[in-house]
Amino acid sequence: MHFASQLARACARHESLLCVGLDPDPAKFPAGLRGDPSRIFDFCARIVDATKDLVCAFKPQIAYFAAHRAEDQLEQLMAYLRRNAPEVPVILDAKRGDIGNTAEQYAREAFERYQADAVTLSPYMGFDSIEPYLKYDGKGLILLCRTSNPGGSDLQFQPLANGERLFEEVARLAAGKWNRDGRLGLVVGATFPAELARVRELAPTLPLLIPGVGAQGGDAAATVQAGWRPDAPIIVSSSRAVLYAGSGEDFAQQARTVAQATRLELQAAQKALPARLS
């Protein structure tokens, strides 16, 4: 199924804009699992089971697995997601950015080895760093545009000769000539609501993956107002605030409580939108 269709169905079925990021850090695991990289799958599977009816997507971050030689556990987790939350699309957060044969191998990794529904990519080597991923029918490609970290401004906010910023050009390209079959999306941080609104203006229908709500301090209401439209999905990602909500045996239930609160906060923000936006 086309990623955009998967996403729309999950958003409607679960009445949710929330994506739970799976960034497993064994040093932060609850008692009984803490410090044990061999339990990464166990931890993530518990989080998935506790939140799968509350989310529109899951987003495993590949570095948290690779750093602990746990790529096999990531494969196991992806298979678990397909069995136990088949209606929820999975975005592999890899931020790959290379060209030619190397990009082809990264695409194979994301879509054949891990069976992801979408992948995050860095577009700063140009369209030929994105094109190999388009060979995989239906898969989503989500390009870094205006990221949530303060240092993103070092390059993304640089002015171009036409007076616009670099992130604006990325948004234009993704919404225009690069989006050959309607499978591109953009990463825009919740920590920059004004820039988020500008990206939505330039890319009025593209899915926006929005990190930064939760531990990074992004505001849910401002995020929804800036980015959500009835025909323009947003995927609001929260990782640490959900994953490490509890440190005891009930950590999964505590994660569910935070995920549910965030989901309801996003719902309330939707309902509060002016009629022209909703």
Q: Per residue in 103-121, pLDDT tens?
A: 999 999 999 999 999 999 9
Q: Which amino acid is at 65?
A: F
For the entire predicted model, the pTM comes to 0.95
Compute the average pLDDT of residues 129-136. 97
Compute the average pLDDT of residues 129-149. 96
Q: Is the torsion defined by CA of 54, 59, 64, 70 positive or negative? A: positive
Q: What is the pLDDT of residue 218?
A: 76
Q: What is the pLDDT of residue 149?
A: 87
Contact criterion met (CB below 8 Å) for 207 and 235: yes
Catalytic residue among 95, 135, 177, 271: 95
User: Quick one: pLDDT band at residue 185, thresholds 50, 70, 90?
Assistant: very high
- Could you tell me what percent of the chain has a pLDDT over 90? 87
Q: What is the pLDDT of residue 219?
A: 85
Other C-beta atoms within 10 Å of 28: how many?
Answer: 15
The four Cα atoms 97, 102, 103, 107 give a dihedral, to 10 degrees, of: -120
- Residue 30: is its pLDDT beyond 90? yes
Of the candidate ranges 67-81, 90-104, 183-197, 262-276, the one whose mean pLDDT is the lowest: 262-276
Q: What is the pLDDT of residue 278?
A: 55
Compute the average pLDDT of residues 231-259. 95
- Residue 221: is its pLDDT beyond 90? no
Assigned CATH class of 3-271? alpha beta
Is 177 a residue of the active site?
Answer: no
Q: Which amino acid is at 28?
A: K
Distance of alpha carbon 94 from alpha carbon 16, whole angstroms? 24
Distance of alpha carbon 21 from alpha carbon 201, whole angstroms? 26
Q: Is the torsion defined by CA of 109, 18, 38, 83 positive or negative? A: negative
- Residue 1: is its pLDDT beyond 80? no
Kindly report the CA angle at 205 between 200 and 206, in degrees rounded to 5? 80
Distance of alpha carbon 233 from alpha carbon 200, whole angstroms? 10
H/E element holding 144?
A: strand 140-146
Q: What is the pLDDT of residue 273?
A: 86
Q: What are phi and psi of 244, to 5 degrees?
A: -115, 35
Q: How does the average pLDDT of the chain come out, rounded?
A: 94
Residue ranges of domains in the chain: 3-271
Other C-beta atoms within 10 Å of 83: how many?
Answer: 8
- Paired tokens of 82: 């397909």
- Residue 215: is its pLDDT beyond 70? no
